[in-house]
Amino acid sequence: MLDVAGLDLTEVERERLRHPLVGGVILFSRNYETPEQVEALIREIHAVRGTDDPKLLVAVDQEGGRVQRFREGFTELPPVRNLGELYDENRKRAKRLAEASGWLMATELRAIDVDISFAPVLDIDLGVSAVIGDRAFHSNPEIVADLAHSYMNGMNRAGMAATGKHFPGHGSVAPDSHEELPVDDREYEDVHLLDLVPFERMIHFGLPAVMAAHILFPKIDRLAVGFSAFWLKEVLRARLGFQGAIFSDDLSMKGAAVMGDMPERAKAALAAGCDMVLVCNDPEAVDQVLDQIAPDNDPVSHLRLARLHGRHQVERTRLALDDEYRQAVHMVLNTV
């Protein structure tokens, strides 16, 4: 999965998207001007592939709060921490609002044909990680799982598959993996009893995808999570029974630099068990990856990713006339 530079595609980008190793595009704020413009960009992205070729996944980070790439023309979603605070007062109301929030976020994106938003965040807010902070539902792992389950149900009802992140949990480390590799010195049992709880619960509820964190647990494995077969194959697949798709976090982040140049990072992440790797904000590195990696035609991996394509697309211009949509907007903007 790669990114593009602007509001429409260049010829070089069209050629890049035709490469058989490219399976998706992630959009950022720089790709967004208006709903009409980004809808046209997504049509342009899909048009580069023939009807017999695999359809590209289109993704975005649209969590709400600090991390919402599309704003003007979209509902300004509050941070999910607000749902956790409400949960402490009224569990049922918070769960209803969590489902409405997931549905609203996903419905607005499906209306412009975005397949997935990388959400919900399953990290636990322990007051340690500034980069997570109010992106997390709560400090209690069971409450995180309860709210995330409702949020995922809302996304699913809108036709969008959920992606839990950042496996196995970013809430216990202060450094931002965009800037450096965070190191967590805990033993496996400590992580299992705390950070893994929301992932374990959500896998039981049918979580379709997970994004792996760039975090090193030196007492557990010598490799950072996104490059570790122990974490992805042994823990996530074998112990937790996860059968969905595994995404790497962006391999351009400084937390991934310990694995070498971009082709080495991509090869290591794929070998460890990732179904799709993200390479963003570095088109030269993308070309190096595409030149140096051989296609892997694993049918199981392809099937996992194919299941993430969006369903139930609605016409964006008709949303304002939809009673459920109007009620969801009112709930999300006025209840919290």
Report pLDDT digits (tens) over 69-113: 999 999 999 999 999 999 999 999 999 999 999 999 999 999 999
- Specify the pLDDT at position 313: 84
Q: Which of 6-20, 94-108, 163-177, 224-238 has the lowest mean pLDDT?
A: 163-177
Spatial contact of 150 and 73, defined as CB atoms under 8 Å apart: no
Please calculate the CA angle 210-183-173 and round it to the nearest 5 degrees.
70
Sequence-ordered list of residues with C-beta below 8 angstroms from that of 206, at least 6 positions apart, any chain: none
CA 9, CA 15: separation in Å to the nearest integer?
10
CA dist 60 → 119, 163, 258 (Å): 9, 11, 26
> What was the pLDDT predicted at 267?
96
Q: What are phi and psi of 78, to 5 degrees?
A: -70, 160
- Whether residue 299 is predicted with pLDDT greater than 60 in this model: the reply is yes
Q: Is the pLDDT of residue 334 over 90?
A: no
- The pLDDT value recorded for residue 336 is 56
The verdict on residue 291 lying in a domain is yes
pLDDT at 199: 98
Residue 5 resides in a domain: no
Residue 192 a catalytic site member: no
The percentage of residues in the chain with a pLDDT greater than 90, rounded to a whole number, is 86
Calculate mean pLDDT across residues 170-186: 84
- Torsion of Cα atoms, 99 then 104 then 105 then 107, to 10°: 120
Place 177 in a pLDDT band, splitting at 50, 70 and 90.
low
- Output the furthest CA–CA distance in the chain (Å, rounded): 55
Per-residue pLDDT at 253: 85
| Rounded Cα–Cα distance for residues 37 and 103 (Å) | 23
pLDDT value of position 171 = 87
Name which residue leads in pLDDT, 179 or 163. 163
Section 234-262 average pLDDT: 93
Is 249 among the residues known to form the active site? Answer: yes
Question: Exactly one of 19, 178, 302, 309 is catalytic; which is it?
Answer: 178
**Sign (positive/negative) of CA torsion 313, 319, 323, 325?**
positive
CATH of the domain at 36: 3.20.20.300
Average pLDDT estimate for 190-208: 98
Residue 164 lies in a domain: yes
Task: Kindly tell me if the per-residue pLDDT of 175 is higher than 80.
Answer: no
For residue 2, tell me if it sits in a domain: no
**Mean of all residue pLDDT scores within the chain:** 95
Please identify which residue in the block is written with the tokens 């720089």: 30
Question: Model confidence over 41-77: pLDDT tens digits?
Answer: 999 999 999 888 889 999 999 999 999 999 999 999 9
Q: Using pLDDT thresholds of 50, 70 and 90, give the confidence band for residue 128.
A: confident
Q: What is the domain range of residue 26?
A: 11-334
146-167 pLDDT per residue, tens: 999 999 999 999 999 999 999 9
pLDDT band at 258 (very low <50, low <70, confident <90, very high): confident
Mean pLDDT along residues 257-265? 91
* Inter-residue contact 163 to 1 (CB < 8 Å): no
Peptide bond before residue 175 is cis, with ω within 30 degrees of 0: no
In a domain, 220, yes or no: yes
When comparing pLDDT for 232 and 336, which is higher?
Answer: 232
Secondary structure in 3-state letters for the chain: CECCCCCCCCHHHHHHHCCCCCCEEEECHHHCCCHHHHHHHHHHHHHCCCCCCCCCEEEECEEECCEECCCCCCCCCCCCHHHHHHHHHCHHHHHHHHHHHHHHHHHHHHCCCCCEECCCECCCCCCCCCCCHHHCCCCCHHHHHHHHHHHHHHHHHCCCCCEEEEECCCCCCCCCCCCCCCECCCCHHHHHHCCHHHHHHHHHCCCCEEEECCCECCCCCCCCHHHCHHHHHHHHHHHCCCCCEEEEEECCCHHHHHHCCHHHHHHHHHHHCCCEEEECCCHHHHHHHHHHCCCCCCHHHHHHHHCCCCCCCCCHHHHHHCHHHHHHHHHHHHCC
Q: How many domains in the chain?
A: 1
Residue in 61, 195, 249, 275 annotated catalytic: 249
Q: Are 149 and 199 in contact (CB under 8 A)?
A: no
Where do we find the tokens 């950070």?
195
CA proximity to 171, closest of 143, 203, 140, 208: 140
Sequence letter at residue 179: E
Say if residue 295's pLDDT is above 90: no
**Residue 1 located in a structural domain:** no
